[in-house]
Structure 1
Amino acid sequence: MILKFALIVSFTILEVTSATFEEDVTLTLEQKILLDEFKERVVPDITKSYMKAELYLVKWLRSSRFDLDLAVERFRQNLQWRKDQSMDTIHSEDWSDMWNDDIRYYVDGRDKLGRPYALIEMRHIDIRKLVLTGKGERYLRYLDKGVDDACQLVHEVSQRYGNVSRGNLLINLDGLNVAQHGCVRCIPYLIRALISFLDHQPECLDKTILVNAPAFIEQYFNLAVSLVPKEIMGNLLILGTNWNVWKPELLKYFDPDQLPRSLGGRKYLREWRTRKYLQ
């Protein structure tokens, strides 16, 4: 599969390649043998039922390029990280300080294929303020919680309907500015959050769509090139600030009733904390 990067800041539109469900579940005989051996080695360590699913396990193997020993090592490191970080109880912690700062995300939207997507509105997030007030580490934990929340939803939808292997991320960059979101002291936290996502949630994400991207976003892109795997960068779609360009592009992937009003849609999004995803 050829992966492409699409940069849309004016009127040029390039196709973004997506990972299909069929590709995610299709293995060669040799890969299936490796998966069976991988299961045999790691399943005794697993305490969560969703982690025993082949669709979940193969993500670790495939993202390790079917290097069996590497996949086992990464998987066990993830289990230890989840234990050390108390990830099994992170969703029941009191996050009212983040809510009071209007730092929220939404995960009840769906794309045209029925896959979940997470929505983040950047104008409500003041990363610089969080760092300067000593909440940088707290914000990192909140990001780990949000990523786990969204990826858990992908697993839930997959187990219920059987035709979903990944979700999408939609970020509205309206209000993005260097002072609040790109300050020198902010960048290390954003890099750590990215590394945490890559280490602990393989192949959870298909497309990442950035809307209302200012011109300077290219600087962030250049910084991320060396950190982000090609399969993610190849599915990154950046849409500029021109409504007449980004609105029809979004409608290729989402129906209007699944887009928030801030992006020209009609959906009223429930906050993630309701955790009533599958109603």
Structure 2
Amino acid sequence: MSLILLILSLSQIFSISEALSFQEFTTVNVAQKAGLEKLSSKLKNKLPHEYMKRDIYLLRFLRDSDFDVDAAETRILGFMEWRQKNNIDLVLKEEFPEYDAEYRVIYEGCDKGGNPVISLPIGDWDLRRIVIAGKSKKFVRYVQKILEEGTGFLRWGQEEGFNMTQATILFDLKGVNLVTHVCGGCIPMYLELLSFSQTYYGGFAHKIHVLYAPEFSLSIWDLYKNLLTSSVAKLLEIHGTQKHVFAKELSREIDPSQLTQRYGGVKLEGVDLSSMRSAAPPAFLANPFSLKLKEKNITDFCGIDWPRIENIIAESFHK
């Protein structure tokens, strides 16, 4: 039961919402368009960053509020207040080298819908050690940075002309155990992560696959999944420990060329978020300068050679 709590908590941290293609996400009817224009007019002088004033940014809040303009406005202003209170605009300048090395976030490739695929090897994360060391607050801050970078990464893709609004998440539970991942002191930290992520980072995940889930947890999962809302049940899939089985299931949504061998793909390794970050200043992910990839004959985001991109980023920055 504790493992199921961990799975649900991690899933909510990355804010499950309705999975839509880019075209579906950006398509609105006449009434919805009018609501978007009304929201934009009400907030144009209240938002601190230009990217926040764009339709595609406001549209996420409208969709999460079922196109209730007043509710969307309340959520956005609440988000702005929370950001200011917690100095979220500064988090991208903060460094967590000890967490980057051990609590890795890895870019794999893309799914067949063009969404970036991000893997998190949770089984390698010693969360109990964080709690014992009294560093829960610092880890929460680290997760805030990851979420800011993740949403910034999607914005960067949009600015480069790629159809990206969400990401597919792979939670890798290989090595997870109740001692280091579901300790008593871990629960308050999970609850804090749940609180701000559900409220302020809605719609980040297009689909979530939990991989290497211990076999005993699957039967428990069958009992509990019926308690989930239909949207969560639709977007969350739990897979067992047999790689050849879940690799076949993943291949329906993600081509093996876009996955590392750990998940049944053909790639030797993915790209650590920390490596992508080190190739450029924080603005690359937060408020990215244009690399004009299409001018460099890079038109397929999912086929990007990231080591090459790292060199382009570095060259652009130094120029």
TM-score category, normalised to shorter length = 0.7 to 0.9
- Assess if the C-alpha contact under 8 Å between 1:168 and 1:206 holds in 2: yes
Distance 1:140 1:224 in 2: 27
Instruction: Give every structure 1 segment of 4 or more consecutive aligned residues whose post-TM-superposition deviation is greater than 6 Å.
Output: 220-226
Which SS does the other structure have where 1:92 is aligned? coil
- 1:231 corresponds in structure 2 to 231
Distance 1:263 1:26 in 2: 34
Q: Are residues 1:85 and 2:86 paired?
A: yes
Gaps of 5+ in 2: 1-17, 280-284, 286-300, 302-308, 310-319
Shift in Å, 1:217: 6.3
Shift in Å, 1:253: 2.0
- 2:13 corresponds in structure 1 to none
Q: 1:213 to 1:192 in 2, by over 3 A?
A: same
Letter in 1 for 2:134: G
Which SS does the other structure have where 1:89 is aligned? helix
- Assess if the C-alpha contact under 8 Å between 1:108 and 1:272 holds in 2: no
Q: Are residues 1:95 and 2:96 paired?
A: yes
- Larger mean CA deviation between 185-194 and 228-237 belongs to 228-237
- Assess if the C-alpha contact under 8 Å between 2:127 and 2:180 holds in 1: yes
Distance 1:133 1:220 in 2: 32
Shift in Å, 1:267: 4.3
- 1:262 corresponds in structure 2 to 262
- 1:151 corresponds in structure 2 to 151
TM-score (ref. length: structure 2): 0.74
Distance 2:75 2:222 in 1: 27
Distance 2:244 2:84 in 1: 47
Shift in Å, 1:173: 0.8
Shift in Å, 1:107: 3.0
Distance 1:126 1:37 in 2: 47
| Equivalent residues, number | 261
Letter in 2 for 1:88: D
Distance 1:218 1:51 in 2: 43
Which SS does the other structure have where 1:234 is aligned? helix
- Larger mean CA deviation between 164-173 and 258-267 belongs to 258-267
Distance 1:220 1:116 in 2: 27
Distance 1:21 1:184 in 2: 40
Which SS does the other structure have where 1:184 is aligned? coil
TM-score (ref. length: structure 1): 0.84
Listed one character per residue, the Cα deviations across residues 55-81 of structure 1 (whole Å, up to 9, x for unaligned) are 110110110122221111110111121
Q: 1:210 to 1:127 in 2, by over 3 A?
A: same
Letter in 2 for 1:40: S
Shift in Å, 1:188: 2.4
Listed one character per residue, the Cα deviations across residues 231-277 of structure 1 (whole Å, up to 9, x for unaligned) are 34421111111223101111222222321232232142222122368
How much identity, in percent, do the aligned residues show? 25
The Cα RMSD (Å) is 2.5
Q: 1:222 to 1:27 in 2, by over 3 A?
A: farther
Shift in Å, 1:112: 2.3
Letter in 2 for 1:173: L
Shift in Å, 1:223: 7.8
Shift in Å, 1:30: 1.2
Shift in Å, 1:130: 0.7
- Assess if the C-alpha contact under 8 Å between 2:243 and 2:264 holds in 1: no
Q: 1:251 to 1:217 in 2, by over 3 A?
A: same
Gaps of 5+ in 1: 1-16
Distance 2:33 2:59 in 1: 9
Shift in Å, 1:40: 0.8
- Assess if the C-alpha contact under 8 Å between 2:218 and 2:240 holds in 1: no
Distance 1:220 1:126 in 2: 23
